[in-house]
Amino acid sequence: MHFEPSRAAALSRLSEFIPRAGKAYASSRNHDDGCVEGDARRNVSQLSPWLHAGVIDEAEVIDAALAHHSPRASEKFIAEVFWRIYFKGYLEQRPTIWQAYIDDRDNAIATMDQDVSLQAAYSEAIEGRTGIQAFDHWTRELIATGYLHNHARMWFASIWIFTLKLDWTLGADFFLRHLLDADAASNTLSWRWVGGLHTKGKTYLARQSNIARYTANQAGGPLKAEGLVSDAPPLVEQREHPRQELKLPGTPCAEAYSEPYALLLHDEGASHMPLDLPKPPALVISAARPEARSPGQIGDAARDFARDAVVRGTKSAAQAFGCEARQWEPSADLAALLSEAGVRQVALPFLPVGWTRDALMPELAPMLKAGTAVELIGELDRATWPLAKAGFFGVKKQIEAVLAETGITGAGTAASLVV
Ligand SMILES: Cc1cc2nc3c(=O)[nH]c(=O)nc-3n(C[C@H](O)[C@H](O)[C@H](O)COP(=O)(O)OP(=O)(O)OC[C@H]3O[C@@H](n4cnc5c(N)ncnc54)[C@H](O)[C@@H]3O)c2cc1C
C-alpha cells in the first residue's frame, strides 16, 4: 500500500476501511495476509502512520467506526485504538522507561562495536539473512514498505529476543528506524511486553504452527519458521520505573491567545485539523525531526513520511489561515525565528515522552515555563491517560465511560472528517 503523508490520504483510507471495522475486523485481524504491491490490506486499517503523525486523531477514527457500526460490533477495533492511547498514557506516567531504553540501546550498540560475532548476528537479522524464512521475509517487508502487521511484529520481536538472543533494544531501534508509524510508547512498551518486562514475567513465544496458521493467505503460501526455541524465559531489569504524577497542560485560557501566535507542527502533531484552535495563528512553523529517533540510519520511507507529513501539514495550515509558514531547522534558533517574524507566543500539539520531545524541548521548555508557549492536548488523551496506571484492563473497562465523557458517539463524523 502506498502511504501518502497527507490528511486527504488518511481520510480516504479511513473511509475505505471503516465498513470493515466491525465484526469482520474482530474475526480476521490476526491474519497477516501479506502485502500486495500498491494494495491496502483488507483485514486491518493500516491507519497507524497517520495516527502517529497526528494527521488524524483517535477520536476521529473511533467516531467514524461508531458512525458505521454498533458499539458492540466495533468493540474490538475501538479497543485496539485504545491500546495506542493506553501505551501513551502509561509511558507518560513512567518516563524513566524511555530514558532507560535510550541508555540500554546505546550500551548495546557500544557492546556490539567490540564483538565481531554479535555484529555478524545483528547484520544477519537486519539484512534478512537468518535462514528463518518468515523472519527474513518480515525484515525485507519492513525495510521496503515501512509497515508490518501487528502479529508479524509480535513474532518478529519474539524471535529476535528468544531465538536469535539479540538485545531487545537493538530490535526496538531497528523498528523505529524503519516503521512509518514508529512510536516511542507503542514500540518500546510492545517490545517490553514481548520480553516479559511490561507484564512482569509474562512473555510472548512465537510458534511455527501459529505463524503458519495466520500467514496461510500469503501469496506464496504460509511462511515457514523452523528452528524456533520452545521456551521464552522473561527478561529481567535491575531498574524499577515508579509511576510519576501525570502533569497535563490545562486547556489554554483566552490570554494564551491574546497576542498573535505561531502554531508549531511536529512529527507527532503534523496537522492543525484535529486541534481545537480558538483563533487563527499568525504564523505556522514546521519542526520535523525524524532523524532524532535513532543514532543509526533512518529508513528512507520512514524519514520521508515523517518529514513530508509535517511539511504538507504546515503548508495546508498556512493556506487555511492565510498566514506565513517557516521551517525551524534543527540547527536554527527558535527565538530568532520568532523574533524575525514578530511573534512571541507559540502553541503546539502536546509533545509526549519520546524523541520528538527530546529534540524540541531544550528550546521549548523555557517558553512553556514562562507561559509564552502552550501545549494542546486532545480531550480523549486527557480523559484516558490518567487511567493508564497499570495494565490495559484498567483502561478497557472504562472505554464506554470515556467515550460518553468526551462525546464520541459516531455523530461527529461528517463534521470532523474534513480535509
Ligand atoms: C513489537 C511491536 C512493536 C510495535 N511498534 C509500534 C509502533 O512503533 N507504532 C505503532 O503505532 N504501533 C506499534 N505496534 C502496535 C501495532 O502493531 C500497530 O499499531 C498496528 O500493527 C498498526 O497497524 P494498523 O493501523 O493496521 O492496526 P489496526 O489493527 O487497524 O488498529 C487500528 C489502530 O489501533 C492502534 N493499535 C492497534 N493495535 C495496537 C497495539 N497492539 N498497540 C498499540 N496500538 C495499536 C494503532 O494506532 C492502529 O492504527 C507495535 C506492536 C509490536 C508487537
Superfamily per CATH, domain 96-214: DNA Cyclobutane Dipyrimidine Photolyase, subunit A, domain 3 (1.10.579.10)
Phi and psi at 15, nearest 5°, equal -70, -30
- Residue 99 carries which side chain, given as an amino acid letter? Q
Pocket of ligand 1 (CB under 6 A): 29, 44-48, 51-52, 80-81, 83-84, 87, 149-150, 153-154, 157, 175, 179, 181-183, 186-187, 190-191, 194
Are both 96-214 and 254-376 of the same fold?
no
pLDDT for position 252:
77
- Closest ligand 1 atom to the C-alpha of 48? 49
Domain borders along the chain are 7-93+382-416, 96-214, 254-376
Give me the phi and psi of 56, to 5 degrees please: -130, 165
Q: Return averaged pLDDT per consecutive 10 residues of the chain, 419 residues in all.
A: 94 96 96 83 96 97 97 98 98 98 98 97 98 98 96 98 98 98 98 96 97 96 97 96 94 80 98 92 97 97 98 97 96 95 96 98 96 95 97 97 96 57
Domain covering 7-93+382-416 assigned CATH 2.60.40 in the classification: no
- Taking the C-alpha atoms of 278, 280, 285 and 288 in order, what is their torsion angle to the nearest 10 degrees? 50
Give, using CA atoms, the residue closest to atom 33 of ligand 1: 81
Query: What's the pLDDT score for residue 417?
Result: 56
DSSP helix/strand/coil, 142: helix
Q: Would you state the pLDDT for residue 218? A: 94
Q: How far apart are CA 201 and CA 181, in angstroms?
A: 27
Q: What is the DSSP letter of 346?
A: E
CATH superfamily name and code, 254-376: HUPs (3.40.50.620)
